[in-house]
Structure 1
Amino acid sequence: MTTGAPTPTYPARPRRSRLRTFLPLGVAAWLVLEIWLLTVVADATSGLVVFLLLLGGLVLGSVVVKRAGRRAFQALNEALQRGGTPESGGGNGLMMLGGLLIMLPGLVSDALGLILLIPPVQKTLSRYAERTVDRKLRAASAGSFGDAFQQARIHRPDGKIVPGEVVRDQPGDEPQGPVPPLTR
């Protein structure tokens, strides 16, 4: 009878978030819907019309992205010349997202991209995004500096946590003696 090292037990894997579970399924469903709609349009008209729709979406989307990029760069340049910081918002990010959606091949993405180019929709979505980001930042900063220090501790492979800090010797300083190994 031999006695060996006990079999290590591993903690249970954390559950996958709902987003990680359903995002691939949603992307696959969206792709199937886009392909199905393009085949319906091709059956109703012709393949040439579908090709022209896709080409027009690519051209229109690139124009929108280029325009939004120019506006964002111009706003940044003006802010830097004033010596301040660029203003948040402005709709350039949503306009770029709309342009990218238009550039993607498909009719549903084109419709979503065109909806994002409507100014009232941009204002509503930007206000919602700003409130969400503010709420998340307030929740994240609710902890103290000590909490951040606890999270920054070093984790060893065996699961033990070793608190510590890095101390850099000054150039020319010699060690005072032998350095003891970490205790187990």
Structure 2
Amino acid sequence: MAVLFLLYVITEVAAVWAVASQIGVLGTLGLLLAGALVGSWLARREGGKAARAVMATARSGRSPHNEITDGMLVGLGGLLIFLPGFVSDVAGLLLLLPSRALFRRAWMRRVQRRGPARSTSGAPFGPGMRTRTIVVDSEVVSDDRRRDDGEGGPRPNGRPVIDSE
């Protein structure tokens, strides 16, 4: 992971250096600032669209897998926009623009290849899957039960007396 982070930093510095050598330091700073402003506006707009799409799909009774994935990609794109540098800005813009559909399709294919999701008990769940529900009857017992040996106080260890049937 540290190697990937180091490669990312080196790539960002190289990209900023290359742009600065072509258009100058002030132009580079202006381009980075413009990218952040446009990207944040776009992230807000696309995030709102994604949230409305999730709500509309859920209200219609359909599963909002694609809409939730779009929202996740918009969030990742917004995060990438706020990281300084040109490489992260370009990657963020690709996730915020309509090209996001390519990434969504690739992500959904990857998820479908991994098979159906499983619950914590190991039972599969999802569309068409049945799960087993176990109901356990129980009784709530008050903690302030007293001993029946005539002293009337709680047991010495502080635990309540529970009569078994």
State the TM-score, normalized to the length of structure 1. Answer: 0.56
**Displacement, 1:62?**
0.6
Name stretches of at least 5 consecutive residues in structure 1 with no aligned partner: 1-22, 146-167, 178-184
**Displacement, 1:26?**
0.9
**Displacement, 1:101?**
2.1
2:162 corresponds to which residue?
A: 175
- Which residue of 67, 77, 87 maps to 2:64? 87
Q: Contact 1:101–1:109 (CA<8 Å) still a contact in 2?
A: yes
2:44 corresponds to which residue?
A: 66
**Displacement, 1:58?**
1.0
2:157 corresponds to which residue?
A: none
Count of residue pairs the alignment pairs up: 131
**Displacement, 1:169?**
6.1
1:28 corresponds to which residue?
A: 6
Structure 1 residues 72 and 115 mapped into 2: Cα distance closer, same or farther (>3 Å)? closer
Name stretches of at least 5 consecutive residues in structure 2 with no aligned partner: 124-137, 146-160
Q: Contact 1:101–1:113 (CA<8 Å) still a contact in 2?
A: yes
- Could you tell me the percent identity over the aligned residues? 31
1:4 corresponds to which residue?
A: none
- Which residue of 90, 101, 111 maps to 1:123? 101
1:101 corresponds to which residue?
A: 80
Q: CA RMSD in A?
A: 3.1
**Displacement, 1:28?**
1.0
1:43 corresponds to which residue?
A: 21
Q: Contact 1:64–1:95 (CA<8 Å) still a contact in 2?
A: no
Q: Contact 1:60–1:102 (CA<8 Å) still a contact in 2?
A: no
